[in-house]
Amino acid sequence: MSTPPPQSFEAEQEVLATCLISPENMPWLSTQLMATDFWVGQHQVLWSLFTECQEKHGTVDLVLLQQLAKDSGRWDQCGGTRVMGQIMDRAGLSTHADRYVAILKDKALQRRVLDAAYSLDVVARDDDLDADGRLAQVDAAIRQVFEGTVAQGLRHGGTGVKEHDAIVSAASDGRAPDGLKTGLWHLDEQIGGLMPGWHVLVMAASGVGKSAFACSNLALEAAKQGKTVAIYSLEMTRAQVMGRMIAAESGVPYHIQTRGRMAEEDRDRYVMALPAVCNLPLYIDEGEGLTLDSLSSRTRALAYEKGGLGMIVLDYIQLMEADGNAKAWRSNRTEEISKITRTLKKLAKELKCVVVTLSQPTAEGARSGRDLSLADAKGAQSIGADVDMAVILNKRDDGAVRLDVAKFRHGPPFKLTNGEIRWNGARMRFEDSPL
C-alpha cells in the first residue's frame, strides 16, 4: 500500500470556511494561496471559484459562489451541495486562519519537493540525456519547487521604504553603494556603476567595438573587482577572448601578439600581464549549441560553485536559440528573442548579477549611414522592454566612437563624446579621454 502524499484535509476545509464566514480575509488569503496548495481536487476547484468571486464581486458568499459555479459548469466539480455543506459546518469553529494557511503551504511544498525528487531520480537514470540536457532538467525540477510558491519574497512596502531610505542616507554621507566599475570614469559617474539585477544591452555595427567594450571594459573590470564572470562567446574562441583581455592589460596589440613580431619591450609587457589575467575569476564558454536552458543551467551551476556571480556576458543574442528548436521559432524570431531577453532579466534578478547582452543592428540600420538607435536592434521591441540600460556605440565620420546610453531605466539617456571617451586600439578597449 502506497504512502499518501502530505496533506491536511481539515486545514483545507478550515481555510475555505474562513473565506465564507470572514470574507474580509479573502484579499489577504488570495495572496498567500493558490489552487495547487490544496490537495483535494474539489477544494482546488472551490478555491478557484473563491478567488474569481472575489475579483468579480469584491467579496465571497455562498449565494454568489453557487451562482458562479453553476454558470461556469463547475458545480459538480466542486462537490456541489454536499461539499459546500461540509465547509459551512466548519464555519466559525476556528479563528486561526493564518495557522491553517501555513499548514497548507508547508504540505504543498512537501509535495513539490517529492515530485522534484522523483523527477531527479528519472533524470539521473536516463542514459539518453547528454550533460547539458541532464543539467537543464535538474534545473527545471528544482525551479518548480520555488515557482509553485505564492508570494515568495513578498514583503510589505514599508520594508522597501526603509531600504530605500538607507540608500539615500548612505549617499548623503558619502557611503553610497557602488556598482561594478566599467573603467570609464565619465560613464560610472553618470550611472553609479553597474548594479546587481541589471540587464545591459550593448549594440554596434560590426567592427565598432561592442565585443571589446563588453569584454575588456565590463567583464575584465568586474573580474578585477573580484567578481566571478561568465562569458558566453558565440563568435570568438576562448583563446581569442583572453588574447584581447591580455592586450587590454599589457598594451600589446592582439595582432602583434599572434604574428610573432613582439619586440623585447612588448614581450616583457605581455609576460607581465599573463599571470594577472590568468588568475582572474573569468569563465568562458565558446557556446557551441548554446540554448537558453543550457546557459541558465551552466550559469546557476557556476554561481553555486563560486558562491555567487558578478556578471554574465552573452556575445551575441542573435546567435542564440531559445530552446534548440530553431525550426519551430523560424517563423517568429522576434518572439524567440523576447523569450531570451525576459529570461536573462529574470536570471539577473535571481542571481543578483549584471547581465550584458550584445546585439547586432538590423541590416537596414547598419546600411542607413545614420546613427543607430535602440529601434535598430534586431528584435528591438522585445529587447528594449527587458533591459535596464542600452549602450549604443556609434562611429563618427572622423573615426571616433560616441557612446550613447539610449535607455537608462534609472535616469535620463545621455551621450559620451570623444572629449570624454576614446578608443584605444592597442589595448582594444575604451578609455577616458586625456584632459
- What is d(CA 304, CA 11) in angstroms, rounded to the nearest whole number? 37
Mean of the pLDDT values across residues 379-404?
76
Residue 153 confidence (pLDDT): 47
pLDDT grade for 391, boundaries at 50, 70 and 90: confident
Asked if 191 contacts 179 with a C-beta cutoff of 8 angstroms, the reply is: yes
3-class secondary-structure state, position 233? strand
Q: Which residues contact 314 (CB under 8 A, 6 or more apart)?
A: 232, 234, 295, 320, 344, 355, 356, 357, 358
Which range (40-54, 109-123, 289-303) has the least confidence? 289-303
The CA-based angle 26-20-30, given to 5 degrees, is 20
First vs last C-alpha separation in the chain:
81
Residue 154 confidence (pLDDT): 45
Per-residue pLDDT at 366 exceeds 60: yes
Nearest to 238 by CA among 302, 294, 286: 286
Nearest to 370 by CA among 392, 396, 389: 396
Residue 152 confidence (pLDDT): 47
Handedness of CA 410, 281, 226, 212 (dihedral sign): negative
Residue 311 confidence (pLDDT): 92
Asked if 212 contacts 315 with a C-beta cutoff of 8 angstroms, the reply is: no
pTM over 0.75: no
Cell numbers for 342:
525576459
Alpha helices in 126-178 (DSSP H): 131-147, 157-172
Asked if 71 contacts 190 with a C-beta cutoff of 8 angstroms, the reply is: no
- What is d(CA 99, CA 379) in angstroms, rounded to the nearest whole number? 48
Per-residue pLDDT at 5 exceeds 50: yes
What are the beta bridge partners of residue 431?
Answer: 422
What tens digit of pLDDT does each residue of 131-190 get? Answer: 777 888 887 787 777 665 544 444 445 555 565 566 556 556 555 556 888 888 888 888
What domains lie within the chain, and their CATH numbers? Answer: 9-147 (1.10.860.10), 185-432 (3.40.50.300)
Helix (H), strand (E) at residue 342: helix 333-351
What tens digit of pLDDT does each residue of 50-97 get? Answer: 888 888 888 888 888 888 888 889 888 888 888 877 777 765 555 567
Nearest to 5 by CA among 149, 115, 144, 99: 115
3-class secondary-structure state, position 359? strand
Establish whether the linkage from the previous residue to 316 is cis, with ω within 30° of 0: yes
Which range (39-43, 269-273, 332-336) has the least confidence? 332-336
The CA-based angle 285-347-151, given to 5 degrees, is 155
Query: Hey, how many other C-beta atoms are within 10 angstroms of the C-beta on 67?
Result: 13
Per-residue pLDDT at 29 exceeds 60: yes
Alpha helices in 22-96 (DSSP H): 26-32, 41-57, 62-71, 80-90
pLDDT grade for 387, boundaries at 50, 70 and 90: confident
